[in-house]
A = this chain, B = another copy of it.
Amino acid sequence: MPRFSLDSQLAASTVRLARWKLSDALLSTDATYPWLILVPRRAGVVELTDLPWADAMALTAEIRHASRALTELFAPNKINVAAIGNQVRQLHVHVVARFRDDPAWPRPIWGATPSRAYDPAELARRRKVLVRALTQD
């Protein structure tokens, strides 16, 4: 039975915010959007249908939790949720706050704009408010 370990591309492009029941809640280090990535800690899982039903329900609850936190913190015009995985096969779900004035609107964000790095103070601040929002119930 292989053990779960976070995909190296995900590890290189995110910071961890919270360890939930099923998933690690990560923040993309692309500062263009408030962009969360949920990764179920299950080895070898690629598709949503690879999860047993109990895990699928847990993931649904965690996606909703992430969506609500982004909505409360950022008041976006839309939340985008997606499990794509054509490049990184380890199952991961994007939960992204979108705004009418963001650089990709109304297109999806993937590949739309070059990644913009947070400055360190901005990342620390964002991480702090997100950790607080995501770890309270």
Binding site for B on A (CB under 8 A): 46-49, 56-57, 60, 63-64, 67-68, 71, 77-87, 89, 98, 105-108, 110-111
Contact = CB atoms under 8 A, between A and B. Distances in A.
Q: Tell me how many chains of this kind the complex includes.
A: 2
A123 B68 CA distance: 39
Contact of A80 (B71, B79, B85, B89): B85
Nearest to A66: B49
A64 B54 CA distance: 13
Nearest to A59: B60
A83 B82 contact: yes
A120 to B, nearest CB: 30
Contact of A67 (B48, B63, B71, B78): B48
